[in-house]
């Protein structure tokens, strides 16, 4: 049976946690407390998509391979514009974000034939958002038995394919999927 311990005094602490960020301030926005995300830095870097593992660019969103994937083929779909929350998306961004997410699911099914997929968003640092200042959708192919003792005992994921290979396979298949 689940036990509950009432400690309402912790509310002040919980509400104050996460109020600072360790990244750099946004350029050109004096007085703002928002930070430049790693995704914005990648987009502004001028580094070719092949090297950054961007697999698709749309009008308002793009798709990139997660540099720290949970499984082979783990994609992130996100707007070019750095925003933290879904409700900040324009209508065009929202429509393209979800259409591109659906297309990413189709591509991963074609390329990897997974047993299932996880599609999700972590909004805010407490929800698990490691880059909480730039909303992004995770699209993760899954297979029965794809997590094993390595993650539980050694805090290590085993990935059978190099990230550059994954990105190229997805990039090639992107336009072949209806």
CA separation for the pair 11, 21 (Å, rounded): 20
Secondary structure (DSSP) of 37-103: -HHHHHHHH---HHHHTEEEE-SSEEEEE-SS-SSTT-EEEEESS--SSGGGS-HHHHHHHHHHHHH
CB 74 within 8 A of CB 65: yes
134 is an active site residue: no
Catalytic: which of 53, 56, 136, 138?
A: 136
CA separation for the pair 150, 158 (Å, rounded): 7
Is 13 strand, coil or helix?
A: helix
CA separation for the pair 72, 52 (Å, rounded): 16
CB 174 within 8 A of CB 65: no
Residues annotated as catalytic (active site), given as ranges: 136
């Amino acid at each position: 049976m689940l036990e509950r311990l009432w400690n309402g005094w912790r509310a002040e602490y919980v509400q104050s946690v996460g109020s600072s960020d360790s990244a750099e301030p946004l350029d050109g926005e004096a007085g703002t407390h928002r930070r430049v995300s790693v995704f914005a830095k990648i987009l502004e870097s001028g580094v070719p998509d092949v090297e950054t593992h961007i697999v698709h660019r749309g009008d308002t969103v793009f798709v990139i391979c997660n540099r720290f994937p949970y499984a082979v083929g783990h994609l992130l779909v996100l707007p070019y514009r750095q925003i933290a929350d879904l409700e900040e998306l324009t209508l065009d961004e929202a429509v393209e974000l979800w259409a591109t997410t659906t297309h990413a699911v189709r591509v991963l099914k074609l390329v990897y034939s997974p047993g299932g997929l996880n599609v999700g968003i972590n909004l805010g640092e407490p929800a698990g958002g490691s880059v909480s200042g730039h909303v992004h959708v995770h699209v993760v192919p899954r297979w029965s038995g794809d997590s094993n003792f390595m993650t539980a005992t050694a805090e290590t994921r085993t990935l059978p394919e190099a990230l550059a290979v994954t990105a190229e396979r997805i990039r090639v298949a992107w336009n072949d999927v209806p």
